[in-house]
Amino acid sequence: MTRVGSVELRLVTLPLVRPFRTSFGEMREKVCVLARVETDGAHGWGECVADVEPTYSEEWNDGAWSLIRDFLAPAAFAAGDLDADDLASVFAFVRGHPTAKATLENAVLDAELRARGRSLAEYLGAVRERVECGVSVGIAPSTEALLEQVSGYLGEGYRRIKLKIEPGTDVERVRAVREANPDILLSVDANAAYRLADVETFRALDAFDLLMVEQPLHHEDLWEHSLLQKQISTDICLDESIRSAADARAAIELGSCRIVNVKQGRVGGVLEARRVHDVAQELGVPVWCGGMLETGIGRATNLALAALPNFRLPGDTSATNRYFAEDLTEPLVLAPDGTLPVPGGSGIGVEPDPDRLEAATRRAERIVPARR
Catalytic (active-site) positions: 164, 263
Binding region for ligand NPQ (CB under 6 A) out of 74-82, 110-118, 217-225, 288-296? 288-296
Q: How far is the CB of 259 from ligand NPQ (least distance, A)?
A: 13
Separation of alpha carbons 232 and 358, rounded Å = 50
CA dist 334 and 318 (Å) reads 8
Query: In whole angstroms, what is the distance from residue 290 CA to residue 132 CA?
Result: 12
Q: 48, 292, 313, 367: which one contacts ligand NPQ (CB under 6 A)?
A: 292
User: Closest CB to Mg ion among 47 and 239?
Assistant: 239
Applying CB under 5 A, what is the total number of residues that bind Mg ion? 3
Give the angle 327-349-31 at the CA atoms, nearest 5°. 30
Smallest gap from Cβ 139 to ligand NPQ, in A, equals 11
Q: What is the DSSP letter of 29?
A: E
Nearer to ligand NPQ, 219 or 258 (CB): 219
**Distance from C-alpha of 137 to C-alpha of 316, rounded to nearest angstrom:** 10
Least Å from the CB of residue 315 to Mg ion: 12
Q: Which of 239, 247, 272, 327 binds ligand NPQ (CB under 6 A)?
A: 239
User: Residue 190 CB, nearest distance to Mg ion (Å)?
Assistant: 8
Stretch that binds ligand NPQ, among 122-130, 148-156, 226-234, 285-293 (CB under 6 A): 285-293
Q: Which of residues 327-366 bind ligand NPQ (CB under 6 A)?
A: none
DSSP string, 296-322: HHHHHHHHHHHTSTTB-S-BS---GGG
What does the alpha-carbon distance between residue 147 and residue 7 come to, in Å, rounded to a whole number? 45
Smallest distance, ligand NPQ to C-beta of residue 351, A:
23
CA distances from 110 to 42, 83, 241, 309, 336 (A): 9, 11, 27, 21, 30
Kindly state the number of chain residues that form the binding site for ligand NPQ, as judged by CB under 6 A: 12
Residue 112 interacting entry, from Mg ion, ligand NPQ, none, C-beta within 5 to 8 Å by type: none
Burial class (CB in 10 A: 0-12, 13-18, 19+), 222: buried
Is 316 one of the binding residues for ligand NPQ (CB under 6 A)? yes
Region 74-133 residues binding ligand NPQ, contact defined as CB under 6 A: none
Distance CA 121, CA 134 (A): 20
Count CB-CB contacts under 10 A for residue 370: 8
The smaller minimum CB distance to Mg ion, of residues 239 and 247, is found at 239
Query: CA 139, CA 145: separation in Å to the nearest integer?
Result: 10
Counts for the chain of helices (H) and strands (E), in that order: 13, 13
**253: CB partners within 8 A, 6+ apart:** 283
Query: 52-71 mask for ligand NPQ (x: CB under 6 A)?
Result: ----x---------------
* Residue 158 lies near ligand NPQ (rule: CB under 6 A): no
132 binds Mg ion (CB under 5 A): no
For the four alpha carbons of 248, 120, 299 and 93, in that order, the dihedral sign comes to positive
Q: Binding pattern to Mg ion, positions 167-196, x when CB under 5 A?
A: ----------------------x-------
Closer Cβ to ligand NPQ, 270 or 367, answer by number: 270
- CB 51 to ligand NPQ: min, Å: 3
Distance CA 292, CA 290 (A): 7
- 51 forms part of the interface with Mg ion (CB under 5 A): no
- Cβ atoms within 10 Å, residue 3: 14
Q: How far is CA 117 from CA 40, 85, 299, 344, in A?
A: 14, 17, 20, 10
Q: Which range, of 63-71, 193-201, 290-298, 352-360, touches ligand NPQ by CB under 6 A?
A: 290-298
Q: Is 293 in the site for ligand NPQ (CB under 6 A)?
A: yes
**C-beta of 291 vs 349, nearer to ligand NPQ:** 291
Binding residues (CB under 6 A) for ligand NPQ: these are: 22, 51, 56, 136, 189, 191, 239, 290-293, 316
Binding residues (CB under 5 A) for Mg ion: these are: 189, 214, 239
